[in-house]
Amino acid sequence: MQKSSQLLDPLFTTGRMHDIFSDRSRLQAMLDFEATLARAEASLGVIPSKAAGAIAAQCRAELFDAEALARATAAAGNLAIPLVKELTARVAQNDKEAAGFVHWGATSQDVIDTGLVLQLRAALDATEAEVGALADSLARLAETHKRTPLAGRTLLQQALPVTFGLKVAGWLSAIERHRARLREIRPRALALQFGGAAGTLAALENRGMDVAAALSKALNLALPELPWHTQRDRVAEVATTFGLLTGTLGKIGRDIALLMQTEVGEVFEPAGADRGGSTTMPHKRNPVGSVVAQAAAQRVPALVSTMLAAMVQEHERAAGGWHAEWETLPEICRLSAGALAHIREIVNGLEIDPARMRANLDASHGLIYAEAITMVLAKHIGRAPAYQVIEKACRRALDEKRPLREVVAQDPQVKPYLPATELDRLFDPSNYFGSAVQLVERVLAQRSKPR
C-alpha cells in the first residue's frame, strides 16, 4: 500500500529519498535483517550453517507480493508477522529443516526497527551529501557578496545597511550546524534493535549477547547497551534533527521569496521553461522552490510532534506509540529531502541584482542612515539629545518629502558638528556595515577548521 503520490512526489521529495522509503526498500531492509541474523547465528553454531544459506536465498524483496503482505498486515497488526510467515513458507519449499530457524530468537519489533535503521542510514548518507553541497554553494555566495550593500530589514521594514553576503552567511552558519548534527546523531541513531520478545533475548538462552554482537558487526550498526523497544529517543532525535534542518530551509525560502517580491526585486530563483509561471498571468515569475521549502517547514513540525508524543510507550512493548512512527518518520525525511533539493537548486542558480539592492537602499531617501548620524552626533551633544534631534529631522523629511541628508545639513543643531564631507561619509552604506564583512569571513573561516 503506497502512500506517496506520483503526481506530487516530484514536487515535495526527491527520487532518492522516495526510493529509500519505498515499500520495496522497507521489505528489503527487513529481509536483510533476517538474512544477516541467520548468518550470524550460523557463524556461532546457534543454527545449522546450511539453514543460513537457505534462509538468505529467499531474502529478496522481489520474491514477495507487496499487496498480499499489505492485506495480511491489516489483520496481523504489523508487517513483520506476515513477512516472516511468508519467508518461512518460501524457505520450506526448498528446505523444511531450515524453515524452522527463520527469525530465530527475534521478535517483530527487532526486524521492523532494525530495518528502519538501515533505511535511516541511507537517508542520513543522502542528506549529509546534499547538505554539504548546499553549504559549499552558500560559502561561495557569501564570499562573492560579502561587501554587496543590502537593506537590512527588521519587522519587514528597512532598518540598517547590511550586506547580502552577511545574509547568506547566516543561512550558511545554520546549515553547518545541521551538518554537524547529522554527523553527531549517527552513533546513537544507527543502532541495532535486537531483544527478542521482551528485551531479554531469553529464547537464545546464554548466546543472546553473542548473537547481538555478531549481528551488529555484520550490519555495521552500533551495539546498544540493551534493546530499545520502548525507549524511542533514537528515532525521535532523527525526527527533530530533520525538523530543525527543514526549519532552516524554510527560513531560506522565506527570505528568498520576500526578496523576489515585485516591489523588492533584489534576487530571483533560477529561470527556466515552465518554471514559476501562472495559468492566467503571463508576466508572473513565482518563487516555486522557495514555496515548497516553506510548505515543508510548515508540515514537518506537526510530524515531529507526533514522534515526540509517541515516545511515551507502555512497559516493554508499545500499544500504539510505536505504530504511530511507521509512516511519520519516513514522511519527515521525504519532505526534508524535497525542501533541501529545492533550496540547493535555487542557491546554485540564484540571480542577484546588486543595482536593485542599492536602489532600494536609497528608497527611504536617507532615513536608513538615521542611526549612523545619531551615533556620530551623540559624540558631540550626548546620545539622548542626538536621538531627539535626528528623530525630528526624520519626521520633517517625511512630512516635507525631502531627502534626510538635505534636512540634517540645514539643521542648526547638526550643522556645526557634521560638515558636508562627514555627511557624505555617513550616507554611504559601505561606511556603516559595522562588522558585517568580518562576520562573513568568520563564518567562512570556521568551515575550514578540522571537525
Q: Residues for the chain: how many in total?
A: 451
The 10s digit of each residue's pLDDT in 39-80 is 999 999 999 999 999 999 999 999 999 999 999 999 999 999
Q: How far apart are CA 287 and CA 253, in angstroms?
A: 8
Work out the pLDDT band at 286, boundaries 50, 70, 90: confident
Please give the span between the terminal C-alpha atoms of the chain, in angstroms, as a whole number. 42
pLDDT of residue 11: 79
Q: How far apart are CA 106 and CA 199, in angstroms?
A: 10
**What is the average per-residue pLDDT within 237-260?**
98
Q: Taking Cα atoms as reference points, which of 162, 170, 31 lies closest to residue 103?
A: 31
Active-site option among 5, 49, 278, 435: 278
Look up 317 and say whether it is catalytic. yes
Q: Tell me the Ramachandran region of residue 243: left when phi exceeds 0, alpha when psi lies from -120 to 50, beta otherwise.
A: alpha
pLDDT of residue 271: 82
pTM over 0.85: yes
Question: Could you tell me which residue, 54 or 286, shows the higher pLDDT?
Answer: 54
Tell me, yes or no, if the two domains 1-106 and 108-191+228-362+435-451 fold the same way.
Answer: no
**What is the average per-residue pLDDT within 146-159?**
96
- pLDDT-above-70 percentage for the chain: 95
- In the block, residue with C-alpha cell 519489533: 109
pLDDT of residue 1: 38
CA dihedral 235→237→242→246, nearest 10 degrees, is 130
**What is the average per-residue pLDDT within 19-42?**
97
pLDDT of residue 330: 97
- 171 touches 178 (CB < 8 A): no
What phi and psi, each to the nearest 5 degrees, are found at residue 366? 95, -10
**What is the average per-residue pLDDT within 181-201?**
97
pLDDT of residue 281: 60
CATH code of domain 108-191+228-362+435-451: 1.20.200.10
Look up 278 and say whether it is catalytic. yes
Active-site option among 317, 358, 396, 402: 317
Pick the CATH number of 367-426 from 2.30.33.40, 1.10.4190.10, 1.10.1740.10, 1.10.40.30: 1.10.40.30
- 178 touches 131 (CB < 8 A): yes
Pick the CATH number of 1-106 from 3.40.50.1220, 3.40.50.2300, 1.10.275.10, 1.10.10.60: 1.10.275.10
pLDDT of residue 10: 84
Mean pLDDT of the chain: 94
Q: Taking Cα atoms as reference points, which of 11, 252, 43, 212 lies closest to residue 114?
A: 212
Domain spans of the chain?
Answer: 1-106, 108-191+228-362+435-451, 367-426
The angle at the Cα of 2, spanning 68 to 306, to the nearest 5 degrees, equals: 115
The 10s digit of each residue's pLDDT in 67-126 is 999 999 999 999 999 999 999 999 999 999 999 999 999 999 999 999 999 999 999 999
